[in-house]
């Protein structure tokens, strides 16, 4: 079995965090029954190999999954508007060790998101982020469909790595004390597709409900492009993000 690492700390709650449900318009239609963000990325980039577009990013040696997931999200956002961008490993490691203080300790997702918004990862800053209730599958699907994916964290089941190696979907099971960060890029009636460890991975909705403990919709600068066609209140969200910026 290949070597993989985890590194997501337990969720930290901040009362200032904005909630996705506050920004959906009343006229927003139900999300599609299925959605695959990668299909749009692949079409724009004329490339469909996830192992090349979304590499390991050091997560076989370091507990940097929170930053690797950011790197994967950046590639998705750029890809949705036809630009190929893969963050180099030295840039990923630099951000990771800057935020950990130089040790391989893992990170809190909220700290990563605030850094991404205020300082940027690579050359990219996000406009903001909102929390998504993991138990509300409709909101999860709408977030993946409208925002180009969901940045999430989950508690790791014992069989997580074995199922990944066997290319089998993640399913519920006894939990370890580890946490892992990934980026979700699609869903069907059976479950979700995420990016992690240099590849795609399926997870059942049963796994999602048992293990996912935090989820965020990211508002990247690319969201202004017409390809995103947001169905949320973009202007109000930008205004509120400015009010709570710190």
SS3 224: helix
Q: Report the pLDDT value the prediction gives residue 222, as an integer from 0 to 100.
A: 82
Closest by Cα among 197, 200, 150, 156 to 180: 156
Report, at the CATH architecture level, how domain 36-232 is classified.
Alpha-Beta Complex (3.90)
Q: Report the pLDDT value the prediction gives residue 139, as an integer from 0 to 100.
A: 92
What CA–CA distances, in Å, run from 99 to 70, 94, 132, 209? 14, 9, 24, 29
Distance of CA 133 to the CA centre of its chain: 14
Question: pLDDT (tens digit, 9 = 90+) per residue, 169-185?
Answer: 999 999 999 999 999 99
The strand pair at 150-157 and 199-204 is best described as unpaired
Q: Which helix (H) or strand (E) holds 51?
A: helix 50-53
Q: Is the model's pLDDT at 111 over the cut of 80?
A: yes
Please compute the mean of the pLDDT values over residues 9-29 and round it to a whole number. Answer: 83
Question: pLDDT (tens digit, 9 = 90+) per residue, 231-245?
Answer: 666 677 767 766 654
Lookup result for tokens 């508690």: 155
pTM over 0.85, yes/no: yes
Is residue 195 within 8 Å of residue 50, measured between CB atoms? yes
Q: Is the model's pLDDT at 81 over the cut of 80?
A: yes
For residue 61 the two structure tokens come to 């040696």
Please compute the mean of the pLDDT values over residues 65-69 and round it to a whole number. Answer: 98
Q: Quick one: pLDDT band at residue 191, thresholds 50, 70, 90?
A: very high
Classify residue 1 as exposed, middle or buried by CB count within 10 Å of its CB (0-12, 13-18, 19+). Answer: exposed
Q: Quick one: pLDDT band at residue 246, thresholds 50, 70, 90?
A: very low
């Amino acid at each position: 079995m290949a070597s993989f690492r985890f590194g997501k700390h337990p969720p930290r709650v901040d009362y200032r965090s904005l909630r996705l449900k506050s920004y959906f318009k009343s006229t927003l239609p139900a999300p599609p029954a299925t959605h695959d963000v990668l299909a749009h990325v692949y079409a724009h980039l004329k490339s469909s190999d996830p192992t090349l577009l979304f590499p390991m990013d050091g997560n076989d040696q370091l507990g940097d999954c929170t930053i690797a997931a950011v790197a994967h999200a950046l590639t998705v956002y750029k890809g949705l508007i036809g630009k190929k961008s893969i963050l180099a490993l030295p840039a990923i490691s630099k951000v990771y060790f800057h935020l950990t203080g130089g040790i391989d300790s893992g990170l809190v997702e909220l700290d990563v998101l605030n850094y991404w918004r205020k300082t940027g990862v690579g050359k990219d800053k996000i406009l903001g982020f909102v929390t998504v209730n993991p138990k509300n599958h409709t909101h999860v699907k709408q977030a993946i469909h409208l925002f180009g994916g969901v940045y999430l964290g989950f508690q790791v089941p014992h069989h997580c790595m074995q199922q990944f190696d066997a290319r089998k979907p993640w399913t519920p099971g006894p939990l370890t004390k580890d946490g892992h960060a990934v980026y979700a890029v699609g869903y069907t009636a059976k479950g979700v597709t995420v990016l992690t460890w240099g590849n795609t991975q399926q997870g059942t909705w049963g796994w999602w409900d048992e293990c996912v403990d935090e989820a965020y919709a990211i508002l990247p600068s690319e969201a202004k492009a017409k390809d995103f066609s947001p169905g949320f209140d973009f202007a109000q969200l930008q205004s509120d993000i400015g009010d709570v910026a710190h």
